[in-house]
Each structure stands twice: as structure tokens, then as C-alpha cells.
Chains A and B, each alone.
Chain A
Amino acid sequence: MAPAAAAADATKLSVSGAALAALLACCGSADGDSDGLLFGVASRAAAAPPSFYDDDDDDDQARASSGPSLSISVAGHASVAQPSSLADPLGRFTRSSYSPDPSAAVGFFSSSRRRSPLRPSMREAALARSLSKTLVLAHPLVFLLVAPSSSAAGLSVHSFDYRAFLLVDFRLVPSSLSVVNAGPGFREQYHAFAPESPLPSLPEQPVKQGYSIGEQKALDGMVEGFGLERVGSMVTSASALTSEMEEMYSGMLRKLEGLARQVERSNERVLDQSITAR
């Protein structure tokens, strides 16, 4: 087996059923070709448990060389539903102004109606390399090639052909993609799941007069002096997170406390009135 293929085999690539469905729906409803980024989590699983049996030496060597296996899980996608929104004609990654921040991406997808069995095109191959250089990933870049059914088949039935690739040694190597659905058959996957996905970065702080007076009031009422800047800076700077959060919660609790007291007092007054009325 070629080393690249072995490396691709050591990587377990999965996608949640919902994320895949959303991606296919997006590709199928686009008027033509589209492409976009894929987001998700990559985690390095612990080394395989030691074998209890006296296996052949070959087997041990194979296990030792494969090392800890890597699992990449695709959780969602972002697309502007336009052809070649990610690359220039020479296949170099370009970030358009309205595309999401690519730093959390694990790869990209490309959707186009083709006739031949699914193979990366010359531009996709170049984009994979260019994107992997930009992202500086610790795992192989994921590329999902989607081919929606051709229009000749009629619009009532949609079929999709898709194939996953991993960029190993600058080559796109076909990889199997397991779809993770809800249900007893997939319980193992959920038990192994750890919610460690990084928070997506929030959009840049809009200019101050972005809110109407009414909106501003409502916001202020909700957060008691915590403006959007303060919340935004809380989310982006993780160090100050805990103390700031506690302060916000205690502020909210103080307000709740005040409200409770008010209700208590008004209740007492109502009670007094009803007593005096007798």
C-alpha cells in the first residue's frame, strides 16, 4: 500500500447526518456550481489498546507504524452559493469580503455537475494545497466533492454523488466518509463526543449607532449595563471570561432580588388593603 493511502486510512473521517443533509441541500438548491468551507473538529484518539493476544510480528509493526489514529468530524459548512468563491482561476485561495473566517475550517467542499466519476479538478487540487498552506492545519485537509443530479433527471427527484478526500503529502487521497446519525446504532459515537469545538469568532463590532433607541433600551435592560462590546470582548478574551461572567450573573441576580422584594412588598400592601377593607 502506498504511504499516502496508509496515512489516509489512519484518519477516520465522519460527518453528522444533519450536517451532510444541510450541505447536500445547499448544493442541490444552488443554481449552478458552488463551493465553501467545512467546519468541524479534529481529535487525536489515544493509541489503540494493547493486544491481549500474541499477534504476528507483522501485525504489531503495522499497529506501531500507524500511530495514534486521528478522527476528523465535519460539523457544518458555510457557503456563499457562488461558483469559485474560494479560489481565483489559478486555484489560489482567496478570501472574499463576505466569506466566514476560515481559521476554524477543517477543509472545503465543491459542488458541480459532472459526467465522469468524481475526481478533483485541476483547480480543486490547487485550492486544496493553497488552503492547507493558509490554514496551517495539524491534520490533513478535508475535501468533499459533491455532484448533484443533472437537470435532465427532472426536478422532483434529487440524487447526490459525493466523495471525500484527504490532502496527504500534497495529494488528494480518496477517503471513506462515515455518516453519524442519531439512534442506538450510533450511541458509541455520542458517548465519545467531547464538546471542544472552538467558538466561532463573532463578526467585527459594528459602529455604535447600529441600534435604534428602542433596541438599545431593550438590550440595556437585558444585560444591565453590559454592552455588546463588553460581551464581545468577554467572548474573545478567554482570560477575563470567568470573572466577567460572574459579575454579569451577580448583576442579574441583584436585579432579580430587587424584583422579588418589590413583589413581596406589593403583595403585603394588597394583603393590608384587603384586611382594612373588611
Chain B
Amino acid sequence: MTPPADTAALASTSGAPLAPLVAAQLNFVLSQANLPIRVGQIWSGCRDGRYADRFTLAIPFCLDYVYWDFLYNALSPKVAPDVVFGPDDEGFQPLVDFDETGSGEKSCLANWDCRDTSALLSLIKELREFYIEYQKKRAAEVDDARLKFEISTVLSKEGIEVCTVSSNGRPDEVKFAVPLLDLDLAKLVPGCPWKLPQKIHLQAVFPISRSYSSVPSAPRLKLVSTPDLKSFFSVDDVKLPPWLDGMCMAEYLPNLEENLKIQVVEASASIGSRRRFIEALAPTFGRPLEADPVHFVIPLQFPKHQPVLTLESSQHFNAQGLPIMSAPVNDYPWSPRWDPTEMVERIYDFLVDECQTFKKFCSDSIPQQK
């Protein structure tokens, strides 16, 4: 998922400015929504094209986006916008449902106030809630006993989203996006700069089986995290527990969550130990060491994984005129149980010897170039 578009760049394809009341509502969405909503095309519905008044929004859903066109009317700015949904969602008709259930008066469309800048955001939230329910209903209609069981057991989990994936107009997969860990990750990282709430989801894609006899195949499982989280914890490094034959998600999730929780707590502890390590580096490495710079790459799994060191020569240059660099070194003596000062001293001792090897390597490589 990519971060929201720059709000300053709201210009239509024809260059016409957005009608003021519409622009105010759209800017509110882009600045206040706690979902990464993006703006696509912006265009005008007027004959003279003076004001742009309609746009496509990419709205996050089920670890992907749905693209909806919002049609305002610059000539009648008081009229509530109309929405065109995606080509596969002709069955999604929230207004028809309002009519059937008689709940239309509760909708923000019933009392549309064009001067309320939060009106569009309320509409998006309302429609997105209905869309999640609509997709759940569609998934529940799929004729597959295993999926029916999965849906009946996990669909009540808060924040879960599900959708059917069709090819050639026929649903052949059901995709679940299950939010994991009921933790406020921002609290684990003191002083974090994240604007949007961060979350880890399990994406599980179940193939729809058409035959009743065969053993259902395992779902495709993948962890997905919100983008800001990557600097703190990489879900790609998490080894997923194996999916056993005949397993269901309700069995799989507690195990996974427990596993993940330990790793997330470790990751937050790692922030502290990385900081202490960097602080400990200063007194020792503050002294010049043969005047050559050393580069430290500290992994997210620090201190379990040791920092990767790279030496850079300040006297020897290669054919391109760039300083000669050593190969990354990560096989020096190391123990995650040492305290930061000891870690730094051991690295220093190692480097004193390594410098000589590196110097020799540099001098050897130069005559070869000539």
C-alpha cells in the first residue's frame, strides 16, 4: 500500500480546478481519514468544463483497493454525490438495501449538508462498511463446505475482511484479510512518527473446490503489514507455522498470533538494544582507527543477528575513482548475550586485526589494475 497522494496536487486532467465545496470535502478525506485513500482521475461533468466535480478514489479493502467514481455536480453543489462502483460489483446496491430495510434515514445521504467538510468522509466510511458486509454475504454464498465452515468460525473476528476473487465471471477463490495481534503497535515504539494506525494482517487465499471428494488444498498464506511498520518489524522474516491437512483458520490463528507476538515484542526490545549499541560505539570508535571509515548495518533482529560491517579505504581507489570497499563481514566473534560495551570492544579488537588484512587487500588490488 502506498501513502496518500499529496493533497496539493489535486488537479483534473483538463486542468480545471475542483469546485470549492467539493475540494474542501476531498481535502478533508485525504488529511483526516485513518485509511490510506488515494485520488485517481479528476474530471468535469459540466459542458463548459469550468469546474472539475468528479473523481475516482482508491479505497483500501481486503489488502487491496477498490476504485469508486464519485460524481458531484458543480452546477448543483448542494446535491449529494452519486457513486459508480466497480464492474464486478453490480450486486452492490446500498440504496436499494436502504429502501428494503427502511434504514435510509440513518444514512448521511438523507441529510446531506454540502458545507460540512466531513460529509464525503462519512459517506466513504458508510459505503465501505456496507461493502464489507456485502462481500461477506457473497463469500458466504459460495458452495464449498470447507469455506462455509471457515466463514462461520472466523467471520465474527473484529476487523476481518473477506472477498471473492472471480475469473471469467465465476468466483474461484475466497480471500481473507485477518487482522492479527490486538496490540497498539504505536505504543510499543516510543516516539514513533506514524500517522496512520499500523497493523499486521494475515492474507489467506482459499481456492474454491468444485468437487466434494477431493481433500481441500491448503490456503495460500502471507503476512502483510502496513508500510510504516517495515522500519520496525519485517513480516517477510517471519516463518509461518505449517498448515496441516484438515486444519482450519480458527486452529491456525492462535498459534500464529502467539508466535508473532513474541517476535513483535522482541522487535520492540531490539530498538532499545540497537540504541544502546550505537551509544556504546561512540566512546570506542570515536578514536580514529587507521583513519578508515567503518560502516555498520544493524539488522532488525539485533542483537540475535550481529551487525554487518563494511570497511572503506580512505587511501586506495579503484579504477572508477571510488574508495575500495571490503566485502560485508558478519562472521566475526559474537554473542547476543554480551552487553553493548563488550560488543563494541570485541568488534574493535576484531577490526584492529581486520584492518591489516584490508590494507593488504587494498594494496594488492591496485597493482593488478595497472
**CA gap between A240 and B366 in the complex, in Å:** 117
Answer yes or no: A90 CB below 8 A from chain B CBs. yes
Q: Is the CB of B75 within 8 A of A121?
A: no
Q: Is the CB of B44 within 8 A of A170?
A: no
Q: Is the CB of B93 within 8 A of A122?
A: yes
Answer yes or no: B291 CB below 8 A from chain A CBs. no
**CA gap between A121 and B76 in the complex, in Å:** 18
- Give the segment of B82-90, B178-186, B217-225, B229-237 that binds chain A: B82-90
Interface size class of A (residues with CB under 8 A): 35 or more
Answer yes or no: A33 CB below 8 A from chain B CBs. yes
Majority SS of interface residues in chain A? Answer: loop
Answer yes or no: A196 CB below 8 A from chain B CBs. no
Q: Is the CB of A151 within 8 A of B76?
A: no
Q: Is the CB of B98 within 8 A of A171?
A: no
Q: Is the CB of B79 within 8 A of A125?
A: no
- Give the segment of A42-50, A110-118, A263-271 that binds chain B: A110-118
- Give the segment of A59-67, A81-89, A201-209, A210-218 that binds chain B: A81-89
Q: Is the CB of B84 within 8 A of A114?
A: yes
Q: Is the CB of B44 within 8 A of A90?
A: no
**Contacts of B4-41 to chain A: CB distance below 8 A:** 13-14, 41
Chain B positions within 8 Å of A76 at CB level: none
Q: Convert B58-88 into 0s and 1s, putting 1 for each residue whose CB lies closer than 8 angstroms to a CB of A.
A: 0000000000010101111001101111010
Majority SS of interface residues in chain B? Answer: loop
Answer yes or no: B49 CB below 8 A from chain A CBs. yes
Q: Convert A76-112 into 0s and 1s, putting 1 for each residue whose CB lies closer than 8 angstroms to a CB of B.
A: 0000001110000111100000000000000000001
Query: A155: shortest Cβ distance to chain B, in Å?
Result: 8
Which residue on chain A has the smallest CB distance to residue B123?
A: A89
Chain A positions within 8 Å of B80 at CB level: 89
Query: A180: shortest Cβ distance to chain B, in Å?
Result: 29
Query: B171: shortest Cβ distance to chain A, in Å?
Result: 15
Taking each of A120, A122, A171, which has the highest tally of chain B beta carbons within 10 Å of its own beta carbon? Answer: A122
Query: B69: shortest Cβ distance to chain A, in Å?
Result: 6
Which residue on chain A has the smallest CB distance to residue B48?
A: A151
Answer yes or no: A32 CB below 8 A from chain B CBs. yes
Q: Convert B98-121 into 0s and 1s, putting 1 for each residue whose CB lies closer than 8 angstroms to a CB of A.
A: 110000100101101000000000
**CA gap between A222 and B106 in the complex, in Å:** 58
Q: Is the CB of B93 within 8 A of A115?
A: no
Q: Is the CB of A112 within 8 A of B45?
A: yes
Chain B positions within 8 Å of A125 at CB level: 93, 95-96
Which residue on chain A has the smallest CB distance to residue B98?
A: A90
Query: B6: shortest Cβ distance to chain A, in Å?
Result: 21
Query: A260: shortest Cβ distance to chain B, in Å?
Result: 58
**CA gap between A170 and B97 in the complex, in Å:** 12
Answer yes or no: A123 CB below 8 A from chain B CBs. yes
**CA gap between A92 and B13 in the complex, in Å:** 33
Partner of A123, one of B82, B90, B104, B112: B82
Answer yes or no: B94 CB below 8 A from chain A CBs. yes
**CA gap between A155 and B95 in the complex, in Å:** 35
Which residue on chain B has the smallest CB distance to residue A84?
A: B79
Q: Which 3 A-B pairs have the closest CB atoms?
A: A151-B49, A126-B95, A89-B80
Q: A31-B48, A90-B104 are in contact. List 12 more A-B contacts (CB 8 A).
A: A31-B46, A31-B47, A33-B73, A84-B73, A119-B85, A121-B84, A122-B84, A129-B96, A129-B99, A151-B49, A152-B13, A172-B90
